[in-house]
Amino acid sequence: MTDATGERRLRQLAAIEVAKLRHVGVKRTEALAGLGITSVFDLITLYPRRYIDRTRRAELSDLAIGEEAAVFATVESVKARRTQNGKSLVEVVATDGERFLRVSFFNQPWRANQLSQGVQAVFFAKVTEYRGQAQMANPVVDVIVGVDGEERDPSKVGVIVPIYPASGKAGLTSWEMGGFVDESLRRAGPLLDPLPASIRSELGLLDRTSALRGIHLPTAMDDVPPAKQRLIFDEFFRLQLLLALRRRRQAEVEAGVSHPVSDDDLDVAPGTATTEHDSLVRQFLAGHRFALTGAQRRVLGEIAADLRSPRPMHRLLQGDVGSGKTVVALSALLAAIDGGRQGALMAPTEVLAEQHVASLRRDLEGLYVHDDGVLGGRRPLRVQLLTGRVKGKERAAGLEALASGGVDIVVGTHALLTDDVCYHALGVVVIDEQHRFGVEQRAQLRDKGRQHSAEGRDPDLLVMTATPIPRTAAMVVFGDLDRSVLDELPKGRKPITTTWSRSVTEVRDAWQRVRDEVAMGRRAYVICPLVEESERIEATSAVAERTRLATNELAGLAVGLLHGQMKSAEKDAVMEEFRRGDLQVLVATVVIEVGVDVPEATVIVIEDAWRFGLAQLHQLRGRVGRGQDASYCYLLGDPPSDDGATRLGAMVDSQDGFALAEVDLDLRGEGTLLGARQRGRSDLRLANLRRDEALLVDARRVALSLVAADGLESHPELVDELKLFVDEEEAAYLFKS
Ligand code: ADP
Ligand code: MG
């Protein structure tokens, strides 16, 4: 099971079950499986959480009272009892052979089993004193050696002891884990390094074998950072290789469409006279309410070039809230229709899809398309809504028209590319506000687009997002897309004054502002607290909040209600009343979050604002400031957490979506960003997008150049390794020769 050179590949390690290890029997196999570890590969990619430097840990004799310390000691005795008020208390006495440490655990009865006599562990907490003796309460505990964990030769363990995550939960000690890893690495011998030596030395990276030994079995703390560098590089590198390969593959296999769209038509000024012989794009822009911003024009030019090319477009359009993405999207959809094809617009929610349909119908009114099937050869351009809520006859008719070409633009959620939906000829797909979509989902969407279109070609794809994505994150999540950025807001936008209202007077001022603005003919949103558990409970509390406001702070105003449990017809009606001004205030749950566009709305009050994420708050605030008038955002509530306070502070300080996104990335880390969307094994385990940006940039550059050279043909070891990180279907797509 080794390479010709005798060096093992990761894929071979993935084929060796942990049960093959000397000390892993049935019980431990199960425990490891509980941690998601079934193979030797899984084991060696579970990295230590931290290390204990045995030469530098505190001795019991030199503990300073009042300071934090990590103490390595052996459990001498354990007592579990209940306190007078019935709480569980586990009291442990630990010793270094000379002195003693009292450790108490409140409400952690399981500690009695974990810390039986003879167990060696590190206790980490602030040291206090009790009757002249050092004491710790509820410390962090890392069990190093369990009572029955004696198979490992203690003399073979270095001064640096790695601490493995989650091992306590599974009933495995760090000592045992370290033993398994040690055995694995020793028995595996030297590992094949698929990264060419020239690149390694150019970037100053360790070879793979040294890196894995360095992180698992360091002989000094200095061994760890360079080991991590290399492993982090690998995490980025694999991801970037896959992205680059995917793009290359797309270019090879895709049969796209060349849409007729001229730059000339993009430069048309509003009010220019047009005829039915002009392109729809030209007619639309000439008839539009305003001239394009410089950024809109530039981005449309980039998109038009993609649309004209026979290669399918894969483009991400980033533009902050209110930057005017809709016009751009519509122009792209119209270009498809100019070529006799159809466009699809996908929204993240049904509410938003419904709203898009309404505004599209308004914006596209008066446009006609050629249709030989009808009398006169022309018919009005047809926009069709297709969501889960469109049912029965209406749905059947819509589907029929879509398949026959009687519908030009279809709007819905991503159910648009599933099941029963077939297109006559799908030319352009626009996905709105979809930063939550991963690489694989997008690939799927594209495949569906082709499969569902009678033409059998790959539609052009435009992904839009208002959530500014830090550059590094974009490289990871959207690394397979070209990027366009709308970095300019339409002229005349006034800043949105953002206030964090904590005191009773400040809150009163907020409601007063709502009344003042409404008195001037403007409109206001009130966002109800987020209820994580259930949309139903959230709806109930929104109903109550509306009633409360309508009879108290906002008495006398026309206050409407919008929440996720309402029927779509009800929602439509409410939105329409709000748009018209029959409703002055709209009390809503986050269903309002994305895309809702009422330019007369100038105030938004967000209750319990700290419950929302930063991206969400920024989106919500973007519901106002869309017209010519000065706007206001009030953030209500006193955050119970530091993170909450940081978020609200950042909102007050900045209106720049990119700056906020950086703060968000700092607060939440990459986990939430990538979410479950990246496949398990390709997860970034060690990498941190902010800290390791330089490595990411290197990894991307190297990956692009290797793939560009020959699609990895001269690097079979890399191909072999990548197969470990993708499923079979994808491997077949990426590596089919
Ligand atoms: P978003 O990028 O958030 O989707 P929208 O497309 O909804 O932004 O546009 C926000 C608002 O700005 C809308 O009211 C829209 O009509 C208006 N708008 C878009 N482009 C321009 C422009 N070039 N000049 C003036 N107003 C514009
Ligand atoms: Mg929008």
Task: Name residues of the chain where pLDDT drops below 70.
Answer: 1-5, 54-58, 148-158, 166-170, 419, 434-445, 531-533, 591-596, 668-683, 737
pTM, full prediction: 0.69
Both 44 and 54 in one domain: the answer is: no
pLDDT for 401: 92
Say how many Å lie between the CA of residue 488 and the centre of ligand 1.
Answer: 11
Look at ligand 1, atom 16, and give the residue with the nearest C-alpha: 324
Interior CA angle at 463 toward 457 and 467, to 5°? Answer: 170
Residues with Cβ within 8 Å of residue 479, at least 6 apart in sequence: 239, 240, 243, 244, 439, 700
Per the domain annotation, does 84 fall within a domain?
A: yes
Q: For residue 210, is it within any domain?
A: no
Question: Which amino acid does the sequence have at 60?
Answer: L
For residue 182, give both structure tokens.
């040690």
Give the phi and the psi of residue 635 in degrees, each rounded to 5.
Answer: -105, 115
Domain with 172, as residue range(s), is 1-49+164-192
Residue 373 inside a domain? The answer is yes
- Same-domain pairing of 328 and 182: no
Copy the structure tokens of residue 596. 């809702």
Same domain, 101 and 91: yes
The residue nearest atom 10 of ligand 1, judged by CA position, is 322
Residues with Cβ within 8 Å of 140's Cβ and at least 6 positions away in sequence, in order, are 123, 124, 125
298 assigned to some structural domain: yes
Q: For residues 268 and 409, state if they share a domain.
A: yes
What's 38's domain CATH number?
1.10.150
Rounded to whole angstroms, the maximal C-alpha distance in the chain is 101
Q: Say whether both 23 and 67 belong to one domain.
A: no
Number of other CB atoms surrounding residue 333 within 10 Å: 30
| Cα dihedral 138/143/148/154 (nearest 10) | -140
Residue 61 CB neighbour total at 10 angstroms: 9
Residues 513 and 463 in one domain: no
Residue 298 has a pLDDT of 96
* DSSP tag of 432: -
> Which ligand 1 atom is the nearest neighbour of the CA of 292?
23
Look at residue 578 and give its three-state secondary structure: helix
**503 lies in the same domain as 383:** no
Closest CA to 706 of 251, 272, 199, 282: 199
- Assess whether 43 and 56 both reside in one domain: no
Domain end point (choices 590, 620, 654): 654
CATH code, 629 = 3.40.50.300
Among the atoms of ligand 1, which is closest to the Cα of residue 492?
A: 25
Question: Is residue 351 situated within a structural domain?
Answer: yes
3-state secondary structure 603-646: EEEECCHHHCCHHHHHHHHCCCCCCCCCEEEEEECCCCCHHHHH
Of 440, 463, 486, the last residue of a domain is 486
Distance CA 38, CA 42 (A): 6
Residue nearest to atom 22 of ligand 1 (CA): 490
Domain co-membership, 415 together with 501: no
Atom 23 of ligand 1, residue of closest alpha carbon: 292
- Is residue 408, in this structure, part of any structural domain at all? yes
Domain boundary among 486, 505, 523: 486
Pocket test for ligand 1, best of 430, 464, 597 (most atoms within 8 A of CB): 597
Q: What would the pLDDT profile of 665-681 be if each residue is shown by its tens digit? A: 777 665 544 443 343 44
| Sheet (strand 342-346) strand order | 383-386, 409-412, 342-346, 426-431, 460-465, 314-319, 482-486
| 668-677 CB burial, b ≥16 within 10 A, e <16 | eebeebbeee
Residues in the chain: 737
Residue 687: predicted pLDDT? 85
Question: Is-contact 603 501, C-beta < 8 A?
Answer: no
CA distance 318 to 483: 7
Listed residue (359, 606, 638) closest to 496, CA to CA: 606
Is there a single domain that holds both residue 525 and residue 424? no
Which residues contact ligand 1 via a Cβ below 6 A? 290, 292-293, 296, 319, 321-327, 466, 490, 595, 597, 599, 626
Mean pLDDT of the chain: 85
Phi, psi at residue 517, to the nearest 5°?
-65, -45
Name the token pair of 97: 């052979």
Q: Residue 92 is part of a domain; what is its CATH number? A: 2.40.50.140
What is the structure's pLDDT at 320? Answer: 82
Q: Are 244 and 252 in contact (CB under 8 A)?
A: no
Are residues 260 and 128 part of one domain? no
Number of folded domains that form the chain: 4
Q: Looking at the structure, do residues 458 and 523 belong to the same domain, yes or no?
A: no
Q: What's the 732 CA to ligand 2 centre distance in angstroms?
A: 37
Mutate which of 290, 360, 631, 655 to test ligand 1's pocket (most atoms within 8 Å of Cβ)?
290
Where are the alpha helices (H) located in 412-488, listed in sequence order? 439-452, 471-477
Has residue 209 been placed in a domain?
Answer: no
- Contact criterion met (CB below 8 Å) for 260 and 338: yes
Tokens of 318: 């980033």
**721 CB-near residues (< 8 Å, 6+ apart):** 9, 10, 11, 194, 238
Considering the domain boundaries, does residue 710 fall inside one? no
